[in-house]
Amino acid sequence: MSRNTVGTDAPPTTRNAPRRPGYGQLLRTPGAWTFLLPGFAARQPFAMLTIGIVLLVQHTTGSYGSAGAVAAVTGVSMAVFAPRSGRLADRFGQRAVLIPGVLTHTASAAVLTVLALADAPLWALFVAAVPTGASVPQIGPMVRSRWAALLSGASGQNGSEAGPGTGSRPVSSKTSSRTSSLTSSLLPTAAAFESVTDEFTFVIGPVLATALCTGVHPAAGLIAEAALTLVGGLLFAAQRGTQPRTGPRGAGGPGEPRTSALSVPGVRVLAVAFLGIGSVFGGMQVSLTAFAEEIGAPGVNGVLYGIFAAGNMLAGIVYGARAWKTGPRRRLLFGYMGLTLVASTLWAVNSAPLLAGLGLLVGLCIAPALITGYTLVEPLVAASARTEAFTWLTGAVALGQAAAVTVAGQLADAHGASAGFVVPLVGTVLALTTLVALRSRLTPKASGPVAARGMSHRVPVAVD
């Protein structure tokens, strides 16, 4: 099993790497803040979109089922188009994909808002939801890709050391050794930091959207989502110096085939695991909203979901700061077992304090699965498909969330909030079964010495 830190069995070039690289060391990486700040603003709307749609459409139609269906169309559309967006970003650059996507999303969200307020038929809301979801900016995967490029010297900022196939000078063996050491020590920390950032947005986003929808206007949450997408997305796109290098053959250099990341069996297994995580997000959003309505306190919905997301964020902080002795595949399995166990109890709770406590535990279990899933991707996938691979996982979360929102909405309408909480249970059980049965596919096939790159826990270094 691989380790999250460098041990005595590591290659000689990595033995002097820090054993416990911290977040402070990561954030001192030159150029990091140029994309972190606008990236945080640009990814905030992602946490507001689903709940904003649910609250608006439920207000105008009076049905959680209809609200969940419209949100589901948005999620499915995003899941279908997100990998294509990632693949285009790998080939043509993130800026080329982001600018038209941000403009399209802003306009589509505005149309969806107007139609909902005008009591348009459900099919019209579905039509507007398709481009709204398809154009959601994939900021999280793009930031992860920038971290990987920056720490391995393959971004525009470090273009002089990007390596063969990029039109730059050859990298010396001494420089290669330093880069490999930095990559192996800081990239797992970067993966954890990104998960924490994602979850921090899910602490703020649902609370903000709920407060706007309940305290200002039912459409205010979705309007704020569109505005933040426009401003944050354009600011992020303007940071050209840190975006990964592009080319017809991708970041991997000459001779590296351009194939879909989904063709890798391990990525497909991880996508199923992330579908289960999406079922937790979607089931919790709808069921917590329905539960808050049942107890006559709609405003508590954002608080409950914020506690759930806070648990996720806190677990991510601790997880990324620890030096793990067990391998990432085993950590993923144990983390998912814990998630399934806790999710199986949600349906039986009818008290807000107990539900808040269980939501916190669910959040604590999600972060390890997300972080480990993202770090397992890199050893499985060529660098030329890195952003696409990340978007497949993000898209899987969106697809699982969309399905969960639909089913949980129908169950909540027919049988109450408790029935909606069955959805996270079923989703995680099915995903865990798949993980256990196909866990061997999460180990990359040995193919000789491997150059260090991307977000992995222990990266072998090519020997000259």
List pLDDT tens digits, range 344-399. Answer: 888 887 778 888 888 889 888 888 888 888 878 777 777 667 778 888 888 788 78
Span 393-420, mean pLDDT?
Answer: 84
With beta carbons less than 8 A apart as the criterion, state whether 390 and 87 touch: no
Looking at residue 244, the DSSP 8-state letter turns out to be B
User: Alpha-carbon distance 319 to 395, whole Å?
Assistant: 24
Tokens of 384: 């030329």
Span 288-297, mean pLDDT?
Answer: 82
Does the pTM exceed 0.75?
no
Span 218-239, mean pLDDT?
Answer: 90
pLDDT at 17: 42
With a CB cutoff of 8 Å and minimum separation 6, the contacts of 114 are: none
Tokens of 104: 């399209």
User: Alpha-carbon distance 438 to 319, whole Å?
Assistant: 25
Span 3-11, mean pLDDT?
Answer: 39
Nearest to 389, CA basis, from 229, 260, 236, 225: 260
Interval 59-85: pLDDT, tens:
998 887 888 889 888 888 887 888 888
The fold for domain 32-250+261-442 equals: Growth Hormone; Chain: A; (1.20.1250)
Q: At which residue do the structure tokens 């050859």 appear?
A: 170
Please tell me whether residue 162 adopts helix, strand or coil conformation.
Answer: coil
pLDDT at 290: 84
